[in-house]
């Protein structure tokens, strides 16, 4: 139940926050591809990768015995993956609006932040005792 709540909360917060920011402040870019624009010419592959990633994260979280913080990290990643998947499903692309400071013309979105944050939490959880 905790995992489902985290996934849904992350996804809803991402989409709600994005709507608020889109309407007022952000420069938007539309990415039909996957990470760093891979498969830009084949958006259906990006969608399939999003769906498989989300389902794999969910399956790992549900069926494997994991530490609490590992589950939380995976849940946060799954919420970000779900958000990107839904944007691809309904819009045909993800909307990136956060500029990456160190690389010119590279943008990302809040779902990408959640995926990275979840990965960091998982790595941190591996350093903790059971």
Which pLDDT score, from 0 to 100, does residue 57 have? 92
Q: What's the confidence (pLDDT) of residue 70?
A: 93
Mean pLDDT of 60-89: 90
* Domain residue spans of the chain: 2-11+37-126
Catalytic residue among 81, 111, 112, 118: 112
pLDDT digits (tens, 9 = 90+) for 1-38: 666 677 777 767 766 666 666 656 677 788 888 877 78
pTM above 0.75, yes or no: yes
Q: Which of 34, 96, 107, 110 is catalytic?
A: 96
Look up 130 and say whether it is catalytic.
no
Length of the chain equals: 130
Q: Is 96 a catalytic residue?
A: yes
DSSP secondary structure letters along 5-52: HHHHHHHHHHHHHHHHHHHHTPPPEEE-SSGGGTTTT-HHHHHHHHHH
Please tell me whether residue 112 adopts helix, strand or coil conformation.
helix
* pLDDT above 70 for 103: yes
């Amino acid at each position: 139940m905790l995992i489902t709540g985290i996934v849904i909360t992350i996804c809803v917060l991402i989409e709600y926050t994005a709507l608020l920011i889109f309407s007022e402040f952000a420069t938007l870019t539309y990415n039909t591809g996957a990470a760093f624009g891979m498969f830009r010419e084949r958006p259906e592959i990006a969608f399939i990768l999003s769906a498989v990633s989300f389902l794999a994260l969910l399956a790992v979280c549900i069926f494997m015995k994991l530490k609490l913080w590992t589950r939380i990290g995976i849940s946060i990643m799954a919420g970000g993956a779900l958000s990107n998947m839904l944007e691809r499903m309904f819009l045909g692309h993800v909307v990136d609006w956060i500029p990456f400071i160190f690389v010119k013309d590279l943008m990302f979105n809040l779902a990408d932040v959640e995926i990275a944050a979840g990965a960091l939490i998982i790595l941190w959880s591996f350093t903790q005792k059971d």
